[in-house]
Each structure stands twice: as structure tokens, then as C-alpha cells.
Structure 1
């Protein structure tokens, strides 16, 4: 199994009726901005371990690195079952986490996938709180039209009912090895040793030995509200932090959306960010921080050192 170079510590922070689980490395500093790492959908903060291990010693010295589990993921579980999640809650959670860990400092913010979308939104809402911003494959969604609203709300209502009936659950596995195989099936580039390590943090066994993904099944319910590109662009235009948009060499958008949303359209949207660079990680797919952690770590270090 993968052996981590920099062991993490954990904390449970009382926050908005939840106990928020945060992995962290290093200690708070008044000279170096905290580095906050935001994971994606159906993932956990532990997902960043490989990147943290790949950072240089000079970079991590004196720097506090934080990787929370979003609400309903990992070990941040609601006290009572949720039947759906709203995107705005992630912004409020992040705001309170920064109040706790960096009340008087701007932070360096990195987000992957869903976490990248949250990071971009938050940087537009609270621009003064972000020193540098790095978005790892947080592309946003295809444009919707108002005419889609009736169908979307109907879908949301139907999926709520399925969740209440218990028919929207997540698959369980008979062993940690089976969880690791599931991770490799999703990402064939993931080495076995890293898959075995991630499986221990991505899932937990119950009293019968069945392994459950550490995610609330309600996350599978579609967002009731349509994705509004105009609103996203307004948020992105409000970003003041220098921004790095990182893509994998595999074109995830083409695979997901089959022409409904393309990299060219994403790049056009990025023009709304006044100071934005684009970087590409070669030989990597959507989970680029697993596929090429040293390349991702090097990009983060270089960009955060920018004057």
C-alpha cells in the first residue's frame, strides 16, 4: 500500500450545525498564506495526500495546508439524514472554515472539479479573502434555458421521492480491495498502491464487513435550479486573485457532454476572469491530482510563488 510521506492530522470543527472534518498538514503561520484544498464530487479531502507528498520541503515549511471534507462527504456527516444539498451551502461552509482558520489572512485556494467550481464562485463572492486561485478541472456545466425549468423541477421531485424510499442508495463492497478495484475502474491510471490507500479513506466497513462509500446518497439528486451561465460569469468577473485554470490532457468535457459543452466554450468563459492563465497536465485524466501529483504540485508551487 502507498506510504504517505507527510502524515496528516485531523480536526472536527463545529460549523453550521455540523462537525466539519478537516485534514491538515503543518502549523498556522503569520508569514505564509494558508493553502486550502477543496475536493470534488464523490471524493474526500484525503484525495490530496499524493499532491501534499509531492510538494517540496521548502514549500511546506511554515505553511498550513488544509483539506476539508465537504458536507455529506467523508467524515463530515449531517446529524440527521439530508434529502438534498444546495450549492450555496458549500460557499457558506467555506466562509466559516476560513473564519476559523484564517480570520485575518487571505488564503491560497485550490479546488478540483466540483471544488474548483466552488472555489471560483467563492473567489467572486469574497475576493478579498483569496490571494491566489487554482482551479483543477472545475469547468462548470452546459448552458441551460429557462424552458428546461419545469422538467428539472419535476426530476428533482421524483428523485427526492426515490431518496425517501431508499432506492437512490450507493453501492456497497465486500472488501477494501473491492473498493480499490472500483476506483481503478473509474480511473485506469490510478496505481494499485494508491487505490488501496484511497479505499481506506474513501469508504468504511459496517459491522457486517460491508464497505460503504463515505458519501450521502442524496448527493445523487439533481440540483433543482438550472445552471445559469450569466450568473457564473458575473461571479468570475468579480474575481481579483490571479487565477490558474489547470486541465488534464484527456478532454473530460468531450467525454462527458458529447458536444453539449466544449473546452472552447470553457475557455471563452474564462475570459471573464481578468487575470487567468491556463496550464495543461500531460498524460492525465480528470483525476489529474492522482494521475500526475508531482506535476500538479509543481504547478501549484510555481503559481503561488508568482509575484
Structure 2
């Protein structure tokens, strides 16, 4: 087993009931007068602990807060067989009411979390002082004509609920993390595996499964409507930092279904935008280049209001 990463700034765990669900919230640092907390939200099939390496790289011992989204990590699942995007906005709104009820926050989201924070910042512009989006590209626009096929697929998948594959050990989980992202060092993969997966014992078989509700893998029956999302992005009032890795993730994920010029047109609608591209980084850029990312965050967040 490889050496396990040792955090420089270990987090504190808290469990908050938000909208009736027990949410796992991670805390680093202490609240300081006049300093808004930096709230971080993770992407699909990830956990709040994923931000540990960036937090460790921050020179400023500021207050940082992260949560596990519903059905991920140590946060409860709502039950049922579907997840709805507006619920993430509702959960985030409840979190900010709990941790910073009277003042704006600095808000960062990665991937799916980046999409959530962009929509939220347009809906609640007064709640955000600074906004950071790490590779939250959104999705290709879907034509209404695709609705029957999408709904049919969803109905079919409901008849055979998805499952998550088991792993024999945390070493296997760490290997899976490094297969997805070869840039992730072995010690960090070993540490993250313990937060990314939980032990299970079923039918006399011992192993580990991901800390995620398998229902997240179901097809979403609601079509992605670009015009509605852009109506939110145009209302963002906070200075916004867009960060991506040097690899072309749009082409990697979507091929020709989501052209780069489509995304560039979307970014052009954000009123106060700054852009950064990180060298030698892919989609998990907070794992690939935590020190470089942390330096950009500190510079951006330290700018005068």
C-alpha cells in the first residue's frame, strides 16, 4: 500500500439538516470579521473532501466550507429514483443561510458544482461576493424533439435500477481514481479513496463501494435547456473567475455535440469575467495543479471590492 497523503490543514466535520436531509459539511479555518467564507461544491460522483489538496495549498488560513451534495459522500440520499437539478440550488441556498445568513460568500464550484454555482449566482446575485467556476461547462442544448426518446430511456432504466461496482480494497479504489486521472499522485489517491468509498459487507463478501447513490446514474428525464440557463448566467453580478485545464474537455466528453464556439458564446454572456487556463491539467484540475490553482484563487479573491 502506498504512503497516504497527510493533510496540512485537516478538516472538521459537521452535519447540518438542510431541507430535511442530513448533509455532511467540511470546515477548514475559522470565521474572521469582515472575511467571507469560501464555500466549495464538488462535481458529479465526487465528494467535498476532494478540495483538501487546494485548501492545503492556500497560504491564507481563511475559512473554507465544503459540503457533500445529496446522495454523495456522507450526505443522506432523499430516496426515490431521481435527482433534480433545482434541488442542488435549494440545498446550496439552505447551506448559505446556515453558514453565512447575513453576508455574501465567495463561492466555488467544480464541474457539476460549477454549473450549480453559475445558476445560483444569477438567481441570488446578492448572496455572492466572488464566483469561481472550475470546468463547469454545462451541457449541450437539447431540442424538444428529443423528449420522447429521453423519457422512454428513463422509464426503461427505472425497471432495472443501476448499481455501483464493488472494490476488494481501498487500494483498488485508489487505482480506479488514478486510472481516471493518471496525474493524481499515489499518496493523494490513497487518501482520497478513504473518503470516496465506504466499506460494505453483503452475503459474506467484504469490500468497498463508492459513497454515492446509484440513482445518480439514471438518465435525467428533464431536458437541458440552454436558454433557461443563459438567462441565469446573464444576471450574475459578482466578479467571476473561469478556470479550466489545458486539455480540451469539451471535445473529450462531447465530441462534436457541444462545439467550443457554443461554449465561448455562453461565457461571453457573463458580465464580469476573468479567465485562466492551467498548464498540465485536465478536468480534475484541483487535483492536478492545486498549488497553481490556489495562487489564482488567492489573487482573485484578494482583489478589492
TM-score (normalised: structure 2): 0.96
Match of 2:139 in 1: 141
Q: Give the alignment of 1:222-241 within 5 angstroms.
A: 222-241=219-238
Q: Is residue 177 of structure 2 the alignment partner of residue 183 of structure 1?
A: yes
Note the alpha carbon deviations across 1:58-107, whole angstroms, 9 max, x for none. Answer: x22xx3210100000000022x6331100000000000000000000100
Q: Give the alignment of 1:68-217 within 5 angstroms.
A: 68-78=67-77, 81-163=79-161, 168-207=162-201, 208-217=205-214
Note the alpha carbon deviations across 1:271-293, whole angstroms, 9 max, x for none. Answer: 11111111101100100000000
Unaligned segments of structure 2, at least 5 residues: none
TM-score (normalised: structure 1): 0.95
Picking from 52, 58, 70, the partner of 2:55 is 52
Q: Please state how far the C-alpha of 1:252 moved relative to its aligned partner.
A: 0.7
Distance 2:165 2:174 in 1: 14
Q: Is residue 258 of structure 2 the alignment partner of residue 261 of structure 1?
A: yes
Please say which of residues 258-267 and 292-301 is displaced more in the overlay. Answer: 258-267
Note the alpha carbon deviations across 1:3-51, whole angstroms, 9 max, x for none. Answer: 1000100000011111110011012233101100010000000000000
Query: 3-state DSSP class of the match of 1:250?
Result: coil
Distance 2:295 2:174 in 1: 27
In the TM superposition, structure 1's runs of 4+ consecutive aligned residues that sit over 2 Å from their partners are none
Query: 3-state DSSP class of the match of 1:181?
Result: helix
Preserved CA contact (<8 Å) 1:84 1:160: no
Query: 3-state DSSP class of the match of 2:83?
Result: coil
Q: Please state how far the C-alpha of 1:258 moved relative to its aligned partner.
A: 0.9
Unaligned segments of structure 1, at least 5 residues: none
Query: 3-state DSSP class of the match of 1:210?
Result: strand
Q: Please state how far the C-alpha of 1:266 moved relative to its aligned partner.
A: 1.1
Match of 1:40 in 2: 43
Q: Please state how far the C-alpha of 1:54 moved relative to its aligned partner.
A: 0.3
